[in-house]
Chain A
Amino acid sequence: MASLSTKVQAYVEAAGKTVDFTKDVILQDDSQGAGPYIKEWNIAGLAQPSDADLDAHDAAGDITETNNGVRSTRKVAYGNYGDQLDEIFKDIDAWRARIQGIKDANPKS
């Protein structure tokens, strides 16, 4: 199951809007076992989603989170920017091949 923030983001983007989770929508978890919930909803022109609305975006949210995980894995494998620039300077084709290998080994959904 996708996290609440991912489902909210999918719901908002499906309506053609964007969300900033530091001001547009405030999610909160009181750490009492109930998990995250919507504390504030401040997006004008878009109603706060019901549980059914969010569940409708669960599958899309799962794909988003899977792909986010792939991006994170790829990013770590790419290495830091300075090393990559040095790699490109020395042999850009070898760098390109290495990056492609990482992408192939970690495909997105």
Chain B
Amino acid sequence: MSKLYVDQVDPKTATTLTLGTSGDTITVPSGAELKSNKISPASGTAFTFGDSGDTFTIPTGATITNNGSSSGFGMDGTPSWYATDEAGASISASTWTTRVYGTEVYDTDTAYNTSNGTFTVPSGEGGKYLVMCSNTYDTSGSGRMLIALYVGSTAKILKNYAYDDPVSVLGSTQQCAGVLNLSAGDLVTARVWQDATTASSPASQGNENWFAGWKLS
């Protein structure tokens, strides 16, 4: 093998320099460094780093800054929604009642329905979701108060609260949260149940009554 010793290689004409020919492999040996301020595709707009199974390491102290868009990195947290109830409602005794949170704060995929309190998993968006809800009663009573996250007609996550002091039940809050494995088209609702009074009225403060969720993966 012969070697070419030179401190700089420039194009003979114009500004384009070509190394090798199609099918060739240009190797930079282990321990050697290749420095460049820019790498671009040879043609078109697609640029590929390495092959399947390769690992690229960003050293400690180094920073990757993304000023463009990206996909496939971590999660973007959508679809996501957050709705509150500013109107209040009446919850009949011993009745699983769908809570309708009628004020939408945000809804990235227009998947939450403020009329019936239902989040419908959009097409192509099945996966794991973190979902949570909160309900606060404004009436006093003594008994049990349940709150649950339903998928279709099944309670997937349920919290059970018991109160035995009618004086302090005023303003009692129940909250429920959990990770749901959802499929496209699944219907997610928040439902409550109470046997403390004949009919109990949730408060109308949005910061006490809300329903939210977002996709994890």
Instruction: Give the B-binding residues of A (Cβ under 8 A).
Output: 3-6, 21-22, 26-32, 35-36, 39, 65, 68-69, 72, 75-76, 79-80
Contacts and interface: CB of A to CB of B under 8 A. Distances in A.
A99 to B, nearest CB: 16
B96 A39 contact: yes
B89 interface: yes
Interface residues of B, number: 25
B193 interface: yes
**Chain A interface, >50% SS class:** mixed
B171 to A, nearest CB: 15
A5 B167 CA distance: 24
Given A72-B141, A80-B167, A5 B96 contact: no
B142 interface: yes
A29 B96 contact: yes
Contacts of A28: 95-97
Contacts of A30: 98, 116
Interface stretch (B26-34, B47-55, B64-72, B195-203): B195-203
B92 A29 contact: yes
16 contacts: A4-B95, A5-B195, A21-B95, A26-B96, A27-B92, A27-B94, A29-B92, A29-B95, A31-B97, A31-B100, A31-B117, A68-B197, A68-B198, A72-B142, A72-B197, A80-B167
A72 B166 contact: yes
B109 interface: no
Main secondary structure of the interface of B (DSSP, over half): loop
Interface of B: 89, 91-100, 116-117, 140-142, 146, 165-167, 193, 195, 197-199
Given A36-B92, A72-B140, A80-B165, A29 B97 contact: yes
A3 B117 contact: no
A35 B97 CA distance: 9
Nearest to B165: A80
Given A31-B97, A31-B98, A72-B141, A5 B92 contact: yes
Contacts of B93: 3, 5-6
Contacts of B98: 29-31
Given A3-B199, A5-B92, A72-B140, 13 more contacts: A3-B198, A5-B95, A22-B193, A26-B96, A27-B95, A29-B98, A31-B100, A31-B116, A32-B116, A39-B96, A68-B198, A75-B142, A75-B166
B135 to A, nearest CB: 13
Contacts of A69: 198
